[in-house]
């Protein structure tokens, strides 16, 4: 593994952790203060709509890492998003 791939892997993992934290705080905000329409509400369990968005972000991040051949980041990205989304700030 060359140094460029290692540096990119570490940066991508840190960004994935921050992405997971951002998704967590967005889900908590929507759970507590989310908008509600006629028969649709993002309050309560409606905030779970954030989970497919987080999955989409993870897939895009994996594609970027595979294209740059940063194999360490491919392995660490799912763990970083999971830790940012559920572990560091607690579950929603």
pLDDT recorded at residue 59? 97
pLDDT tens for 10-50 read 999 999 999 999 999 999 988 888 788 888 787 878 788 89
Tokens 């940012």 correspond to 84
Residues 52-76 have a mean pLDDT of: 95
CA–CA gap between residue 45 and residue 7 (Å, rounded): 38
- 1, 11, 48: which is closest to 27 by C-alpha? 48
Q: Give domain limits for the chain.
A: 3-87
Going by pLDDT thresholds of 50, 70 and 90, the confidence category of residue 92 is low
pLDDT recorded at residue 25? 93
Question: In this model, does residue 2 exceed pLDDT 80?
Answer: yes
pLDDT recorded at residue 1? 67
């Amino acid at each position: 593994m060359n140094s460029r791939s290692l540096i990119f892997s570490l940066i991508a993992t840190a960004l994935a952790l921050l992405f997971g934290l951002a998704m967590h705080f967005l889900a908590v905000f929507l759970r507590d203060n989310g908008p509600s329409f006629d028969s649709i509400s993002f309050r309560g369990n409606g905030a779970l709509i954030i989970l497919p968005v987080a999955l989409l972000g993870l897939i895009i991040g994996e594609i970027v890492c595979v294209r740059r051949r940063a194999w360490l980041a491919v392995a660490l990205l799912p763990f970083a998003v999971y830790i940012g989304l559920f572990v560091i700030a607690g579950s929603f």
